[in-house]
Homo-oligomer: A and B are copies of this chain.
Amino acid sequence: MATRHTTQILTRLRSLMKDTSVVTEAIQAYIIPSGDAHQSEYIADSDQRRAFVSGFTGSAGTAVITETEACLWTDGRYFNQAEKQLDSNWTLMKEGIPTTPTQGAWLAKTLPVGSKVGVDPRLFSKDQWTPLSKTLKSSGHTLVSVERNIVDVIWDEKPSRPSHVIQPLEIKYTGKSWQDKVKDVVKEMEAKNCSLLLLTALDDIAWLLNLRGTDIQYNPVFFSWLLVKMNGEIHLFVDPSKVTSAVKQHLNLEADIEMKEHTSSPTTDTVLAVLHPYEDVDGFLAAEVSQQPKKVWISDKSAVAFSNLVPEELLCGDVSPVVFMKAIKNPVEMAGMENAHIKDAAALCCFFAWLEKEVESQRTVTEISAADKLAGFRAEQIDFVGLSFDTISSSGSNAAIIHYKPSPETDRPITNREIYLCDSGGQYKDGTTDVTRTVHFGVPTHFERQCFTRVLKGQTNLATCLFPSKIKGNVLDVLARKALWDVGLDYLHGTSHGVGHYLCVHEGPMGISWRVYPDDPGLSENMVLSNEPGFYQDGEFGIRIENLVKIVPANPENNFKDRKFCTFENLTFVPIQKKMIITEMLTKEEVAYIDQYHTQCRDKVAPLLQRMDKKEALDWLMRETEPLG
């Protein structure tokens, strides 16, 4: 793109970087991270600062602006998109390519000696701050907090922070009361000798309190902060307009939005909620910190602005305990996830049966109209709330863009001449789904089928493997890649992410990638993850096959050193297109696995399609689940 639509923005930012009425001291570089003050992956429009500044709208990427340069770091999922969206003021820094410097190394080398690098301490976590600060320091530079966000200063039409109402989630969906969850959290605090815990991640708060919101598209969370005290008292910082009477009742709030006066201290057996305005968190936290007999737990993944309020020797920076709790689904959550996946599979059967007919009849269907139709089929299902992310509905060369989102400018028809890749998911009150299928409505090339079959071999290899409980996810990654590596192919994304229960579709702390997830507690029973290898031929086609899976005990014939071997079980039950498979490339075991998978698809999804009287979808399901033979 030759136009330089960011020129004026960069000029204004560079001027502010030297304006000491805005920054305390002049800075030679300014970092604009991707996330919000809650370090969310998906963010509200009001937090799209990096997109506003650079034009790049992907979900991951960091902009760095110096007096003369503007660089954007992003990962392999977004190289194509970033190349298209960035104008010529910008340099794309491809993360994961060995020759690409880190932001710290690049700044250290590029800046004149003694430079100051500024960042908004709300948008930068402590674990981002510490190493970058060290790197810069060792090159004679300094990382400094810039309290006033300078992007906000120049963002004339910045949207306001969303403030939608919050909904309680009933115990029939959550399986555990928020009070019991808080008690578990207090136990973790005691074990770490902490008397105060600040939660800043929106999904931590939503899960812990059994509340859901709609402040961020696709992520049923709401803007808030939560302080948990050792005595079981919880302080929720939230815009009062979001708190309906149903929420007040759910939280047993007798008092209103003001701080409640207690006549006696609650014991650890009681759990008491108090509401405060969203903006009051800093002041309240600072006041509480000064009174703490023990340590204060603020995850290093929270904004460094909060950690800075606590003296270093009082700070516990460990990962929030809620992160580990919500990763292990309880029986009610897991049953909900299973049920949501059957409903979701029914919607996909309706969609593919419809799409096949449309393409056959040469009626015009485009990426966008197909995605809309799919959303409609999902909406027919009970307890459907919305999509869990932007549908990646991508045809032909668009499918090679890993995190593609169709727009009016890029929208392509879906035809019988090229591959169609559809990665989509739903939020249901009983669970979150995420599924990718790649199909061809005409005659795929031999190379496309070879690649598809290798992706499928990898997916099968991972799906069927046994592993000792608690090994880190990164250990398994190669199983999904081996069949591609065997012929010099690969894919530039991870193989698996965790998934929330009616929460974020990307949920930590575990995952399966060649990269190590630093907080991965080890793969354990009742975790839910994706299994999604792929292959992308730039400018031609893309392939991805994605199921969600749960971890279950495997009970093999031996149990070496009581390691408790586990395996995966599919949650997703949508047929895999047989036309794309070269059966001769599969082992006997792989054929048996795929045939068995298709039998399960029938057994689990056909009854719902029958009940819903979806005859075409049912016929499609029966045909697509015939054995490979």
Contact = CB atoms under 8 A, between A and B. Distances in A.
Interface of A: 98, 137-138, 140, 313, 316, 465-468, 470-472, 474-479, 482, 484-490, 492, 514, 516, 522, 554, 556-561, 563, 565, 587
A487 B472 CA distance: 19
Contacts of A137: 313
A560 B400 CA distance: 14
Between A475, A479, A557, the greatest number of chain B beta carbons within 10 A of the residue's beta carbon is seen for A475
Contacts of A489: 558, 560
Contact of A475 (B313, B492, B514, B558): B514
10 contacts: A465-B482, A466-B486, A466-B487, A466-B488, A472-B514, A474-B475, A475-B514, A484-B560, A492-B561, A587-B587
Nearest to A469: B98
A479 B522 CA distance: 19
Nearest to A109: B193
A313 B563 CA distance: 46
Given A470-B98, A479-B482, A482-B465, A488 B313 contact: no
A468 B137 CA distance: 34
A488 B138 contact: no
B98 A488 contact: no
Contacts of A486: 465-466, 556
Nearest to A492: B561
Between A137, A466, A484, A522, the greatest number of chain B beta carbons within 10 A of the residue's beta carbon is seen for A466
Contacts of A98: 470, 522
Given A478-B479, A488-B556, A587-B587, 10 more contacts: A466-B487, A471-B514, A474-B516, A487-B556, A488-B554, A488-B565, A489-B560, A490-B560, A490-B561, A492-B561
B477 A475 contact: yes
Per DSSP, chain A at the interface is loop
Contacts of A471: 514
A473 B557 CA distance: 30
Contacts of A490: 468, 560-561, 563
A475 B484 CA distance: 15
Chain multiplicity (copies): 2
A543 to B, nearest CB: 13
A513 to B, nearest CB: 10
Given A475-B478, A489-B560, A313 B467 contact: no
Contact of A488 (B479, B559, B587): B559
A479 B470 CA distance: 18
A202 B608 CA distance: 70
A516 B467 CA distance: 18
Contacts of A140: 313
A560 B558 CA distance: 39
Nearest to A476: B478
A476 B138 CA distance: 34
B485 A468 contact: yes
A319 to B, nearest CB: 15
A468 B476 CA distance: 16
A496 to B, nearest CB: 14
A568 to B, nearest CB: 13
A485 B464 CA distance: 11
A272 to B, nearest CB: 30
A485 B472 contact: no
B466 A485 contact: yes
A275 to B, nearest CB: 33
Contacts of A587: 587
A560 B488 CA distance: 6
Nearest to A558: B488
Nearest to A139: B193
A27 B484 CA distance: 57
Contacts of A563: 488, 490
A14 to B, nearest CB: 28
A471 to B, nearest CB: 6
A559 B484 CA distance: 11
Closest 10 A/B residue pairs (Cβ): A488-B556, A488-B558, A488-B565, A490-B560, A466-B485, A489-B560, A488-B559, A487-B556, A475-B514, A489-B558
Nearest to A315: B138
A84 to B, nearest CB: 18
A264 B582 CA distance: 73
Between A479, A485, A558, the greatest number of chain B beta carbons within 10 A of the residue's beta carbon is seen for A485
A487 B557 contact: yes
A559 B137 CA distance: 40
A500 to B, nearest CB: 25
A316 B134 CA distance: 12
Contacts of A316: 138
Contacts of A475: 474, 477-478, 514
A516 B475 CA distance: 10
Contacts of A484: 560
Nearest to A565: B488
A485 B467 contact: yes
B516 A516 contact: yes
B565 A485 contact: yes
B465 A558 contact: no
Between A556, A558, A560, the greatest number of chain B beta carbons within 10 A of the residue's beta carbon is seen for A560
A192 to B, nearest CB: 10
A561 B487 CA distance: 13
Nearest to A134: B312
Contacts of A479: 478, 482
A475 to B, nearest CB: 5
Between A140, A556, A558, the greatest number of chain B beta carbons within 10 A of the residue's beta carbon is seen for A558
A19 to B, nearest CB: 30
A489 B467 CA distance: 9
Between A98, A140, A486, the greatest number of chain B beta carbons within 10 A of the residue's beta carbon is seen for A486
